[in-house]
Amino acid sequence: MGLRRLLTAAAAALVLAASGSCTEAVGRPASITDAERLRIGVKTDQPGLALRADDGTFAGFDVDVAHYIADELGVERAEVDFTGVSPQEREQVLVRGEVDLVLATYSITPLRKTVVAFGGPYYVAHQDILLRAGDTSVAGPADLEGKVLCQGADSDSADRIIGERGIAAESVERPTYGDCIDLLAAGEVDAVSTDDLVLAGYLDTAPSSFNLVNAAFTNEKYGVGIARQDVAGCEAVNRAITRMYQDGTAAWLLRKWFGDSGLDINTSVPQFEGCV
Amino acid sequence: MKGSTEAPEIADRLATRAADRARPRTRLPAWVGRPGTRGWVWLLSVLCLGLTGVLFAVTGSAIAQTRDGLDVIGRDEGPKVVATADLYFALSDMDAQMANVLLMGSDHSLGDGRDAALVRYEQRRSDATDALLHAAQLAEGDATDEENVRAVIEDMSRYENLVAQARLLSDEAGLPAGSQPEEVVRLYRRAGELMRRDLLPKAYNLTLDSGATVRSTYQENSSAASVRMALVAGAATALLAALLALQYFLRTRFRRRYNIPLAAATAGVLVLGLGAIGMLEQQAVLLRTAKADGLDSVLALSRARAISTGMNADQSRWLMDPGRADIYEQNFLEDAQMVLFLVPDDDGVPGDLEEYTAEVAEAVPDHTAYPGRLLGLLGQEIHAGGVEGREQAQRRALRDYSAYLHADQRMRGRAEEEGAGAAIDARMAGEESVADHFDRYERSLVQLTALHTNTFETAVADARAGLRGWDAILPGACLGFAALVVLGVRPRLAEYR
């Protein structure tokens, strides 16, 4: 009977209307707050921050911070996968969704913020200067006049001293900062200038060979890179970092990895960047 | 008597069947089992009345939930979040005023004078306390946030302790502007570092966190809003279908062309349903305006103002503590880039203060002609649209910011050429001083913020006005529909008596 069909149709329309609004794309959760596994991009060759061992495991400050954040997000340690990311591919891997988070000495800049979002910073590093042990001729960037500096490829640390500050130093470029440290040890360059945590990490590999100046002259906000649309995830990362500083884990981790370097460590929570 | 052995079983079976048939008959009206015409009329009428009840309940709860969401953002959380945003500014300005007081030393009449700076310091301290109270209320129940508020209170008293000592020593020394004793500089350096490294970041994170609270409330509310709209649409559609079915049935069975009361009810439901959905849609739009164009902008601009105040303090520190001038200049530049970050079209982002100042001048007076992008807290607030006068206010804010940066360059230039005394003069005294330009810039920021505050308040008031009346309309209309249904079917049912 037509009437019954009419009623059935009306009921079907109601059900459709109700279910249509609830349907979501199937696949990975829209926010890392719902994730059960996390894929985190870190560096592979930075002693003290993230170094890949021969067995494929990662160790360093960035790795420990990543574990803490994952734990706060309710992801078990065994469910965290680390992937090595190079500085050039940090944005792409987030945009393409190949990793969920990036903790890889990833400085927050307004330009990068147009592509990805940043939780944190979890630490504000400063550009600093590393010398050979026994060299006391440099107390700040101004004293680098006439010296030979080494900078890694894709870095502008020496250019910032020479170009922006107008200090007449000479600059040598090598593929990585590890190579620069070798040159410094061999006496072929006078100083290496980059983020203090990076320098402290190298210093720790050969404490008697080098000397950290402690002349913080820029602020490098190390952020937790995250997909731009995952605002809730970014806010959850900020809460995790807040707790990491409140419960003393941050201070402990900073001392664990950089405590012997003589670096002036700030154990107070950094000013966050904001998620939107 | 052959079949007599089976007889009791047959009798039993017949009895059971009879009982089965009899049972429903005693409980429900006859038409339920196999409805006849009268049964169908009853069934459809009851369905219409039931669905009217459903429409009433669904729409009523949608209105109640919409009002709750509006209250949270418009009355409870929203204004409190704005109040916590003032915390960062109040702390930052406390520090800026104290830097001025110490910079002036015994030259009490420089600029607005030392007493004015002290009055403003006290004012900001009480503002900070008020803001902390709001922050504490927002943080209630969240252990992490509560701990954060507690840490800010503790750091604040440590800061006050340090500056009190510095002031005492400065008063005792009685030296003129720019020549503070080593100990005063050392104490203030510690206070300033505490402010910058501990206090301000925590205060800033608190305002970010309360912003996050509003965002998640809004998010929940807006996804619930689409579900609510779908439910109202579903309930109205179902009722319409039932009414049309009843109308159709009466027409075919009773050979009447129209049932006027039912037609009226159908039209009424259509109007009410469309009206309710339109109203809910309008509420969602107004709430989005209140949040995105109001609250978000107010928060961003409050942060811009707070960070600008920190820049102002860094200028005083730069003059007072030449030993660390490099760091203070770097901090000034970094804060400036948080307020307004320029991406020139050739991607050569300015690297030092002088280049930055020149680049900002490019975006003035007409930012639309600037061949690059404007980012940062203020930069992202510079866009077309919005209420009348907003674009003008944006232009003015940019122009005054650029003028402030130029005054800053003049001050730094004079420090280099004529020494600290002349620079302090350029900082504090006269119409073209840094202090004067900063005041103007701050006023334009406050004006621009006020326009967004106004957008927020107007949208909330409009939303509230849009909900008004529905409390009376909805029950009245639903009762009317029920009455019309009864009126429409009663004469037909009477034909069967």
The residue range of the domain holding B230 is: 38-494
Q: Is residue B170 part of a domain?
A: yes
Distance to chain B for A244, nearest Cα, Å: 10
pLDDT at B279: 93
Question: Which of B205, B207, B248 to mutate to probe the A interface, most A CBs <10 Å?
Answer: B205
A239 lies within 8 A of chain B by CB: yes
Q: Is residue B5 part of a domain?
A: no
Dump pLDDT digits (tens) for B263-290: 999 999 999 999 999 999 999 999 999 8
> Which residue of B148, B241, B330 is in closest CB contact with A6?
B241
Judged against a pLDDT cut of 50, whether residue B181 lies above it is answered with yes
Work out how many domains chain B is built from and give that number.
1
Dump pLDDT digits (tens) for A196-241: 999 999 988 888 889 888 887 788 899 999 999 999 999 999 999 9
Distance to chain A for B224, nearest Cα, Å: 10
Question: Which of B327, B332, B345 to mutate to probe the A interface, most A CBs <10 Å?
Answer: B327
What is the pLDDT of chain A when averaged over all its residues? 85
Q: Is B142 exposed, middle or buried (0-12, 13-18, 19+ CB in 10 A)?
A: middle
**Cβ-based neighbours of B241, under 8 Å, separated by 6 or more:** A6, A7, A9, A10, A13
Q: Is residue B265 part of a domain?
A: yes
Judged against a pLDDT cut of 50, whether residue B3 lies above it is answered with no
What percent of chain A stands above pLDDT 70? 89
Chain A residues with CB inside 8 Å of B343's CB?
110-111
| pLDDT: which is higher, A24 or B364 | B364
Q: Is A20 exposed, middle or buried (0-12, 13-18, 19+ CB in 10 A)?
A: exposed
Q: Say whether A268 and B212 touch across the interface (CB within 8 A).
A: no
Alpha-carbon distance of B386 to A137, in angstroms, equals 58
Judged against a pLDDT cut of 50, whether residue A10 lies above it is answered with no
Q: Is residue B32 part of a domain?
A: no
> Which residue of A2, A17, A242 is in closest CB contact with B205?
A242
B147 lies within 8 A of chain A by CB: yes
Greatest mean pLDDT among A43-57, B7-21, B361-375? A43-57
pLDDT at A18: 45
pLDDT at B35: 65
Q: Say whether A269 and B201 touch across the interface (CB within 8 A).
A: yes
Greatest mean pLDDT among A15-19, B207-211, B279-283, B310-314? B279-283
Q: Say whether B245 and A3 touch across the interface (CB within 8 A).
A: yes
Closest CA to B266 of B464, B51, B21, B20: B51
Dump pLDDT digits (tens) for A104-120: 999 998 888 889 999 98
B292 lies within 8 A of chain A by CB: no
> Which residue of B201, B303, B331 is in closest CB contact with A270?
B201
- Note the residue count of chain A: 276
**Cβ-based neighbours of B107, under 8 Å, separated by 6 or more:** B114, B176, B177
| B290 phi/psi in degrees, rounded to 5 | -60, -40
The mean-pLDDT minimum among A20-24, A193-197, B8-12, B278-282 falls in: A20-24
Q: Say whether B248 and A6 touch across the interface (CB within 8 A).
A: yes
Closest CA to B450 of B386, B380, B370, B384: B386
Q: Say whether B40 and A3 touch across the interface (CB within 8 A).
A: yes
B144 lies within 8 A of chain A by CB: yes
| Domains along chain A with CATH numbers | 32-125+220-261 (3.40.190.10), 127-212 (3.40.190.10)
pLDDT at A23: 37
A231 lies within 8 A of chain B by CB: yes
> Which residue of A17, A18, A246 is in closest CB contact with B147?
A246
Distance to chain B for A213, nearest Cα, Å: 15
Chain B residues with CB inside 8 Å of A235's CB?
209, 212, 215-216
Note the ipTM here: 0.81
| pLDDT: which is higher, A160 or B475 | B475
pLDDT at B23: 53
Chain B residues with CB inside 8 Å of A141's CB?
326
pLDDT at B484: 93
| pLDDT: which is higher, B231 or B252 | B231
Q: Say whether A3 and B296 touch across the interface (CB within 8 A).
A: no
Greatest mean pLDDT among B58-67, B355-364, B369-378? B58-67
3-state secondary structure at position A81: strand
pLDDT at A240: 95
Chain A residues with CB inside 8 Å of B341's CB?
110
Alpha helices in chain A (DSSP H): 2-20, 61-72, 90-95, 157-159, 177-185, 196-205, 231-246, 249-258
Dump pLDDT digits (tens) for B316-366: 888 877 777 888 888 899 889 989 998 887 767 777 888 889 888 888 877
Rg (Cα) of chain B, in Å, rounded? 36
Alpha-carbon distance of B133 to B127, in angstroms, equals 10
Q: Is residue B13 part of a domain?
A: no
| pLDDT: which is higher, B425 or B195 | B195
Judged against a pLDDT cut of 80, whether residue A32 lies above it is answered with yes
Alpha-carbon distance of B448 to B450, in angstroms, equals 5
Alpha-carbon distance of B16 to B65, in angstroms, equals 54
| pLDDT: which is higher, B398 or A1 | B398
Q: Name the strand (E) or helix (H) holding A102.
A: strand A101-102
Q: Say whether A114 and B375 touch across the interface (CB within 8 A).
A: yes
DSSP secondary structure code for residue A271 in this structure = P
Dump pLDDT digits (tens) for B455-470: 999 999 999 999 988 9
> Which residue of A113, A114, A238 is in closest CB contact with B208?
A238
With vertex at residue B190, the alpha carbon angle to CA B186 and CA B192, rounded to the nearest 5 degrees, is 110
Per-residue tokens: B385? 């649209």
Q: Is residue B292 part of a domain?
A: yes
With vertex at residue B346, the alpha carbon angle to CA B344 and CA B347, rounded to the nearest 5 degrees, is 65
Per-residue tokens: B232? 């109202």
Q: Is residue B321 part of a domain?
A: yes
B351 lies within 8 A of chain A by CB: yes
Beta-strand pair A117-125/A101-102: unpaired
Name the closest residue on chain A to residue B351, using Cα atoms: A164
Q: Is residue B18 part of a domain?
A: no
Distance to chain B for A2, nearest Cα, Å: 9
What is the pLDDT of chain B when averaged over all its residues? 84
Chain B residues with CB inside 8 Å of A268's CB?
197-198, 201-202
Dump pLDDT digits (tens) for B13-43: 766 666 666 554 455 565 555 667 788 888 8
